[in-house]
Amino acid sequence: MKRVDNIEEMARSIVALLEEKDATVSFAESCTGGRFAATLTKIPGASHVFHGAMVTYANEIKHRWLGVSEEILQSVGAVSEACVDAMLEGIAKRAECDYAVAVSGIAGPDGGTPLKPVGTVYIGIKTPENKRIFLQHFKGDRHAVQEQSVYFGYEKLLDALINGW
């Protein structure tokens, strides 16, 4: 499959590959506010492969809807590998999907700290066989961080679908 350079092309490829595999995907989003889901549902045929999404912006909702433990939220915070790992498990269980994507980060313009500056984003991909969580430090304003998060997440989901990890 050739490299795709825009989010809509990636979404189209994701839908096609999921249809080919007779598989489904769901999203657990925080800092992207539903952009993963909104982008995918622009593509005809998405209804065959997309189970749903949860925008879990508040920590309490991450805890109640996705089962992220209070301990994780208090000890390492929502912007952490542990939180995204729990979000992946929570959405996969709730949506009963084959593939899951979870994202949590600091889009800005405020909210950053010296240890987690604005642009810090964790993105996780869960496949039937594996799970990977990536830490990224995106640059730009709030919109740019959100868009880069979706682009990166879609790239990784495509990689998982094509290369089977």
By the 8 A CB rule, do 58 and 107 touch? no
pLDDT classification of 5: cutoffs 50, 70, 90: low
The continuous run of DSSP H or E covering 94 comes out as: helix 81-95
Residues in Cβ contact with 6 at an 8 Å cutoff, skipping those fewer than 6 apart: none
d(CA 46, CA 16): 9
Length of the chain (residues):
165
d(CA 76, CA 7): 31
Higher pLDDT, residue 4 or 31 = 31
pLDDT classification of 20: cutoffs 50, 70, 90: very high
| pTM, two decimal places | 0.96
For 133-159, the pLDDT digits (tens) are: 999 999 999 999 999 999 999 999 999
**Burial class of residue 157 in the structure, from the number of CB atoms within 10 Å of its CB (0-12 exposed, 13-18 middle, 19+ buried):** buried
The CATH number of domain 7-163 is 3.90.950.20:
yes
pLDDT classification of 44: cutoffs 50, 70, 90: very high
d(CA 56, CA 45): 25
Q: Residue 110 pLDDT more than 70? A: yes
Higher pLDDT, residue 101 or 4 = 101
Residues 50-57 have a mean pLDDT of 98
Residue-averaged pLDDT of the chain: 96
pLDDT at position 51 is 97
- Is residue 51 helix, strand or coil? strand
Whose tokens are 């996969």? That residue is 92
Alpha helices (runs of H) in 7-80, residue ranges in sequence order: 7-21, 35-40, 59-66, 70-75
pLDDT at position 1 is 46
* Percentage of the chain lying above the pLDDT 90 cut: 97
Q: Residue 4 pLDDT more than 80? A: no
CA 142: distance to chain centroid?
A: 17
d(CA 3, CA 26): 23
* Percentage of the chain lying above the pLDDT 70 cut: 97
Structure tokens at 5: 């350079």
